[in-house]
Amino acid sequence: MTITPVPAGGCGGWVDGGGGGSVGGGAVGDHFEPMYGEGPGECFEGMTTLAALAMATTRVRLGLLVTGLTYRPLGLLATQAITIDHASNGRLELAIGTAWHDKEHRALGFEFPPTGARVDLLEDALNILPRLFTEDDVTYAGKRVSIEHATVNPKPVQQPSIPIWVGASGKKRSLPMVARHADAWHSFGDVEWLAKQSAYLDELCEEAGRDPATLLRSASLSLEGDVDDLRREIDAWAAAGFGYLIAGWPSGGREKIEAFAPLLATR
């Protein structure tokens, strides 16, 4: 469930028991201005919000959907992730992507490299982050980021490592990286299109010597229809091999989620 990034006191307790326990995780957007709607709105920083939610919840998995790698140096992101993993007692899912919102970058002074350079950064992240989570004295010479004799302690609560999700759709470079390195893959699109992408990932996993079943597939779920619409959509995603669905906050708010709880609990 993606949640409005409000202070944890405003939603933590409900997220933890939301929908009668049918909500398995809470995801916060990683942006510095709202992506939708009119006006400037309000937008809390994502990693700080996760840390607050970690202290206000005990059950649900927590993550950003997804964190743009252009926003934070990789060493900082690694230490933030480990800190939140400890604060949540091992409930963090670290989802990363290449970022896309150039206007936001320009407004706040973040560098926004060309697409190829941002994909290079994703490649560096997928090589650096797992090693910082599991090893000491790490040296890596990357295309965008290099580290020398780096040790980050403590290591995560989760062993062997914090699960790493990748939000990506590029067939030439990004999806092969997903097949080699990611624990989970998330993308946006309808069932028909993402099923084709997922089938291509199966091929890439096999080429990389990996069992495709070890890569979790995640997609977005709409809660704007009625119960029958939701049932059909969930069943279609399940048939396409997607084992995790992330629902945006519906216009009907908490009441609509509670109304869908019996269906969500059986899926």
Q: Three-state SS for 146?
A: strand
* Structure-token pair, residue 134: 């599991």
d(CA 52, CA 141): 34
* Distance, first Cα to last Cα, the chain: 14
pLDDT in tens, 219-234: 988 888 788 888 888 8
pLDDT value for 172: 96
d(CA 65, CA 187): 10
- State the pLDDT confidence band at 23, using cuts at 50, 70 and 90: low
- Please check the confidence at residue 209 and state whether its pLDDT lies above 70: yes
d(CA 205, CA 149): 31
pLDDT value for 225: 78
- Please check the confidence at residue 201 and state whether its pLDDT lies above 70: yes
Q: List CB contacts of 171: < 8 A, sequence separation 6 or more.
A: 197, 200
d(CA 144, CA 98): 13
pLDDT value for 119: 98
- Please check the confidence at residue 130 and state whether its pLDDT lies above 80: yes
Assess contact for 82 and 154: CB atoms under 8 A: yes
d(CA 78, CA 45): 16
Assess contact for 86 and 154: CB atoms under 8 A: yes
Q: Three-state SS for 75?
A: helix
CA 57 vs CA 24, 105, 174, 252, 261: distances in Å: 12, 31, 33, 23, 19
- State the pLDDT confidence band at 258, using cuts at 50, 70 and 90: confident
pLDDT in tens, 136-179: 999 999 999 999 999 999 999 999 999 999 999 999 999 999 99
Superfamily of domain 8-265: Luciferase-like domain (3.20.20.30)
Q: Three-state SS for 208?
A: coil
**Domain chopping of the chain, boundaries:** 8-265
Is the omega angle on the peptide bond into residue 160 within 30 degrees of 0, that is, cis? yes
d(CA 87, CA 75): 19
Assess contact for 267 and 237: CB atoms under 8 A: no
Assess contact for 152 and 143: CB atoms under 8 A: no
pLDDT in tens, 31-78: 888 776 554 567 889 999 999 999 989 988 999 999 999 999 999 999
- Please check the confidence at residue 8 and state whether its pLDDT lies above 60: no
The pTM of this model reads: 0.88
For 47-63, letters b (16+ CB in 10 Å) and e give bebbbbbbebbeebbbb
